[in-house]
Structure 1
Amino acid sequence: MESLVDYEDSDSDCESSNTLGCSRQLKQNQDMTVSRPLGLKPTESHPENIHWTSRHGRIPSVRTDFGSALVKSHISTEGLPALPEGHIGWERQYTPSYTDKPLLNISSRVAIASPDSLEKTTSQQTSSGPSQIIRHKSSDTVKRPQHVSSGIRPYISKRQRLGPTSASGDMSSKQSVEEASTKQTRCVLRLSEVCERVKPYLLEKPGAAGIPRRLLRGLEGHEGPVNTIHWCPVAQLSHLLLSASMDKKVKVWDAVESGQCLGVYPCHAEAVRDACWTPCGRRFLSGSFDNKAAITDVETGQQLVKVDNQFKVMCVALQPSDEHVFLCGGYSPVVKAWDARVSKAVKLYSASIQQTLAILFLKGGREFITSTDSVSRDSAERTLIAWDYQTTARLSNQIFHERYTCPGLALHPTGDCFLAQTNGNYMAVFSSQRPYRMNKRRRYEGHKVEGYAVQCELSADGTVLATGSSSGSAHFYDYQSTRMLHTLCAHRQPCLRVAQHPVLPSTAATCDWGGGVKVWH
């Protein structure tokens, strides 16, 4: 076996005779495969390095002998820089690759010629002289020659291998769309099912509320303080937990079973201060520092209603008797009532205050209470204000006479009273009937607020009162005796809210100023 390299200044007669012998041998071995025998080491007959040398800037043709088949190859110079006149030449080192399989890797610059084309090339070179070189135009595809067996794979360009979706941007965008659609499908399927842990309690009569004592799971994902959390009010969907954070996002979690985040809703451009479920459990209302209040569909993520209050929204509340009306309060002396069907403000409630901290509708929805930051040295006559919903008139502003603001309000589910979380480190009880007097003999103490927006909440049967604290603990009180039942060391950051599960006994969720949400059982 030999490896022969013909240069353009070599003898033409010798070249033509060698080429004709090569073509005859190729015709006899058309079905033979090209491979390196097993255990054969490179020798002089199989050189590892073959140098291609050209004089006067021209590229010679190369004949190589691999095994028993001779291949006539021509090198294309398309795309290479032209060499100046008088240049001695250039060299390129080529290292052939041998494999045990019948495969032949050929460079994109080398085109394999058929025996017929070899004879034509020989005749053309003989007639035109040894210095004439035939250049083959390079193409993206290389047709399989007739004399090569089916075991040899031709060269395929990278563009053809990757296809039209080779651009990384297109691939990444398609993958992101597919991932988003998959997540959305999972969310819809999850909302259409009933949690296995909740099923046994749906047919039973609700029992007495218990006290959670151990951690069930932590829900990580928020990057800012979580201002509020709410369990879904629908019993079949009560495994869903809604959270609103200062990181501009509202999230829905499967907090009972898997602990996964089922939906992320970036429906606001600024921090989300408050959010709550609608009675159907398929939508939620949210208010933000971007002056907007929005109603968003949980399944599709579409914003059904979005209104501009022209002030930073601190609190939102749904009208119990009319599901299409909601109230918004914040950095303004005015509380606005919006009709979701027309996206217009239908009522305005104005008072001599700077901002509204919380809104609470009383039973029936005919009256509601607002908590403000209006506190003077001598009195706090406008700290809690009672309003008539229909007439927008102030019913009373002499409810709370102590000089503390109230960042949170809670309505008792069965009794005629409501509670207010005060910055005096205690919770006060008020009558929900006119003239809304405070019960001075009942006070829940033992936790700290220290200026944080700590909220309080009663259990579904009204027997257990829960609240967070600035120290990070969750406190549980007996509503009748005002005795503290248990203190849960929940967070290292201030605990802003404790939400008790409406169906599962002894289950609650807590959120903190550091962005953490935890579920306790």
Structure 2
Amino acid sequence: MSSLVAYDDSDSDAELADPCGAAGPRKDSSTVAQTLDFASHTLCESVRGVLAPKPGSCEEVVGPRLHLPLARLGRVAPGSCPSQRLQWPRTKLEVICPNPQPQSSLWMNHLPASHAPVAVAHGKPLKHPWERYGSLEPPLPAQTKAEAPGNSICSLQRKRGEDCVVPYTPKRLRQLPESNSENSKSRDGDSSVGPGRPPASLSVRPRVSKLIEPYLDSQYKETVIAKKVLFQLRGHRGPVNSIQWCPVFSHSHMLLSTSMDKTFKVWDAVDAGNCLQTYSLHSEAVRAARWSPCGQRILSGGFDFALRLTDLETGAQLLTGQSDFRVTAVKFHPKEHDIFLCGGFSPEIKAWDIRTGKVVRGYKATVQQTLDILFLQEGSEFLSSTDASSRDSADRTIIAWDFRSSAKISNQIFHERYTCPSLALHPREPVFLAQTNGNYLALFSAVWPYRMSRRRRYEGHKVEGYAVGCECSPDGELLATGSADGRVLLYTFRTASQARILHAHTQACLGATFHPVLPSVFATSSWEGEVKIWH
């Protein structure tokens, strides 16, 4: 049984057979030309001078310089001279001839079905490729699974009652769809930016969400308690340590998530609920990542001792720093946006300058680890939550610092023997919240001497050693906190009573944050690597 595919160096029976069948050629069949490496006028003279063909017959051309079957030169109609019916190609064109029967033009089989001209379906003569494109070789566009080669031709052949022959596709063309699919993913935004590959240009374009735009000119009103899940964002393969909405209100549809899977992601969490960009810039777990106040940069720190400042649009690294400890907390200065604080597995907190890429100030304490950092008084003071494991560690759980002089203002703030994994500032009153491992939220004054309120304590959730976050709503009426059992608890700020309990996740809920513009949108993150948007 002869092969359906004929190569340039093959001598199959299909090539040597008589191209003129008993039934004769069809009216709508196209001429099939084979690759020829010599001039057309020289071949014509050799054929006419050596061979005198008989009308209505098909013979081989034999000459001093040529021994080639007519099946390779062209098809002849009955009753005509082969030398007059031969059509010589003007360019080097490779065509696959699967069988000697008259078929539709197999040159078009190299193109996707969507690119096949209408003239093929109606049996009209097709222009030569060099006349259509003006180039020496016809372009071969990329093929996709949806546009398999020869689909339109096969359907036409089935209507005529002929056998459908799929031509041979070179290996280099079969590999193109995979690369095209990867490029399409990078254009869609769900690509990864890492040190080993260049970032996609303008991967996250700044825009204004249509759902947020009506709320930009109006003042934030009463917060509405979310009840239903709007989006369920899955993409992280490790615990999501923290989540944060973009601080610029016009771009607040973007949500930043930090994970232990060595990446941090930017999501469209309002309109589409998809991942805009994945950043793989760290070799170890990413413990902390924050938006810059301008909303155009992302500062990240991880367990690989590295600090990265990434441009949101281009993915360029504006700062590549190396600390001498594992980073667990980073915070931008609220007024001087080129300064940020960095803390971690070290007794010292360091202040970095983005313009120089160097440490400009240090804050030392007899502690083992910094858990969280919170700025007060418009940046003139800040608090640090520490993990001190000595016998008299109650006086160093929360420390107040002077930002300019690096001096301690107070270390007698929280006297109970619990660590505080997270801190949160109230948006309208001079108080701040501290999440404690005693399974309650403590309320403190934000001015010296930073006294703790004995009357209001927000209880009912579980911490159990997790870095459970807490936050206040933009109007200051509600408090939100996660829980080690996967729940999310909402408290009324004035009365410390529970407003609602959401059974959000199956594992520990680490982050809970209110949307800064939309009063009914709420985001949560969990230890299982899941992010949910509530409405």
Compute the TM-score of the two structures, normalised by the length of structure 1.
0.72
Corresponding position of 1:120: 50
Sequence identity, in percent? 46
Secondary structure, aligned partner of 1:380 = helix
Q: State the distance in 1 between where 2:46 and 2:493 align.
A: 102
Q: Conserved in 1, the CA contact under 8 Å of 2:341 and 2:350?
A: yes
Corresponding position of 1:243: 257
Q: State the distance in 1 between where 2:266 and 2:226 align.
A: 22
Gaps of 5+ in 1: 1-47, 50-57, 70-95, 123-131
Corresponding position of 1:197: 211
Corresponding position of 1:273: 287
Corresponding position of 1:254: 268
Gaps of 5+ in 2: 3-10, 53-61, 75-81, 97-109, 111-136, 143-169, 190-199
Secondary structure, aligned partner of 2:366 = coil
Distance 1:450 1:118, change over 3 A: same
Distance 1:187 1:116, change over 3 A: closer
Distance 1:352 1:64, change over 3 A: closer
Letter in 2 for 1:102: S
Secondary structure, aligned partner of 2:47 = helix
Corresponding position of 1:353: 367
Q: Conserved in 1, the CA contact under 8 Å of 2:266 and 2:275?
A: yes
Q: State the distance in 2 between where 1:164 and 1:476 align.
A: 57
Tell me by how many angstroms 1:243 deviates. 1.0
Tell me by how many angstroms 1:441 deviates. 1.9
Q: State the distance in 2 between where 1:284 and 1:508 align.
A: 21
Corresponding position of 1:156: 94
Q: State the distance in 2 between where 1:373 and 1:63 align.
A: 87
Q: State the distance in 1 between where 2:361 and 2:12 align.
A: 89
* Residue range with higher mean Cα deviation, 418-427 or 162-171: 162-171
Q: State the distance in 2 between where 1:151 and 1:266 align.
A: 57
Corresponding position of 2:388: 374
2:333 matched to 1:319?
yes
Q: Conserved in 2, the CA contact under 8 Å of 1:97 and 1:105?
A: no
Tell me by how many angstroms 1:102 deviates. 3.1
* Residue range with higher mean Cα deviation, 164-173 or 479-488: 164-173
Secondary structure, aligned partner of 2:413 = coil
2:412 matched to 1:482?
no
Letter in 2 for 1:253: W
Corresponding position of 1:516: 530
2:186 matched to 1:180?
yes
Q: State the distance in 2 between where 1:274 and 1:241 align.
A: 14
Secondary structure, aligned partner of 1:117 = helix
Letter in 2 for 1:309: S
Tell me by how many angstroms 1:146 deviates. 5.2
* Residue range with higher mean Cα deviation, 404-413 or 231-240: 231-240
* Residue range with higher mean Cα deviation, 216-225 or 459-468: 216-225
Corresponding position of 2:127: none
Corresponding position of 1:387: 401
Corresponding position of 1:102: 29
Q: Conserved in 1, the CA contact under 8 Å of 2:32 and 2:95?
A: no
Q: Conserved in 1, the CA contact under 8 Å of 2:384 and 2:398?
A: yes
- 1:333-376 C-alpha deviation (Å, 9 max, x unpaired): 11110000000000011111111111111122111111111033
For residues 193-232 of structure 1, the aligned pairs below 5 Å read 194-232=208-246
Tell me by how many angstroms 1:487 deviates. 0.2
Corresponding position of 1:502: 516
Aligned residues: 426
Corresponding position of 1:54: none
Tell me by how many angstroms 1:185 deviates. 7.1
Q: State the distance in 1 between where 2:467 and 2:24 align.
A: 73
Secondary structure, aligned partner of 2:250 = helix
Corresponding position of 1:440: 454
Tell me by how many angstroms 1:200 deviates. 2.0
Distance 1:321 1:107, change over 3 A: closer
Letter in 2 for 1:148: R
Secondary structure, aligned partner of 1:371 = strand
Q: State the distance in 2 between where 1:357 and 1:206 align.
A: 31
Q: State the distance in 2 between where 1:491 and 1:280 align.
A: 32
Corresponding position of 1:42: none
Tell me by how many angstroms 1:480 deviates. 1.1
Q: State the distance in 2 between where 1:195 and 1:492 align.
A: 31
2:381 matched to 1:454?
no
Tell me by how many angstroms 1:117 deviates. 2.6
Q: State the distance in 1 between where 2:12 and 2:329 align.
A: 81
Greater radius of gyration (CA) = 1
Out of 269, 286, 292, the position equivalent to 2:300 is 286
For residues 292-311 of structure 1, the aligned pairs below 5 Å read 292-311=306-325
- 1:109-135 C-alpha deviation (Å, 9 max, x unpaired): 9x997684376379xxxxxxxxx9978
Q: State the distance in 1 between where 2:210 and 2:427 align.
A: 27
Q: State the distance in 2 between where 1:155 and 1:347 align.
A: 71
Letter in 1 for 2:475: D
Q: State the distance in 2 between where 1:392 and 1:64 align.
A: 94
Compute the TM-score of the two structures, normalised by the length of structure 2.
0.71
Letter in 2 for 1:374: A
Letter in 2 for 1:180: S
Q: State the distance in 2 between where 1:338 and 1:395 align.
A: 21
- 1:18-51 C-alpha deviation (Å, 9 max, x unpaired): xxxxxxxxxxxxxxxxxxxxxxxxxxxxxx99xx
Q: State the distance in 2 between where 1:341 and 1:444 align.
A: 42
Corresponding position of 2:192: none
Q: Conserved in 2, the CA contact under 8 Å of 1:375 and 1:382?
A: no
Tell me by how many angstroms 1:463 deviates. 1.2
* Residue range with higher mean Cα deviation, 175-184 or 250-259: 175-184
- 1:149-202 C-alpha deviation (Å, 9 max, x unpaired): 66999971579777699746787657645653564678554x23x212212222
